[in-house]
Amino acid sequence: MPSIYHRNMPEATYGAAGYFNSSYQESWLEDELAQRVIKSVDKSTAPGSGPVGSKALGLIASIFPESNMQ
């Protein structure tokens, strides 16, 4: 369960989008389990090293290339 702290915490993550945008790696989509989960959740296809194909949203490409990740 999430907790709320009313103070400045340098070790805290502020905002889920900021966390996932800075820790995402395209290579995660090459994993067979990840591909099965994506397909079961929203019927999208994750071909591995390319954009995710969604019937509802079209092609979903990575915003941050892996070369910029630490």
pLDDT in tens, 7-48: 787 777 777 776 666 676 778 888 899 889 988 988 888 877
Question: Model's pTM, two decimal places?
Answer: 0.53
CA-based torsion, 34, 35, 36, 37: positive or negative: positive
Q: Using 50, 70 and 90 to split pLDDT, how confident is the model at 69?
A: very low
Cβ atoms of 65 and 57 within 8 Å: the answer is no
What beta strand segments (E) does the chain contain?
Answer: 52-54, 58-60
Give residue 54's pLDDT: 87
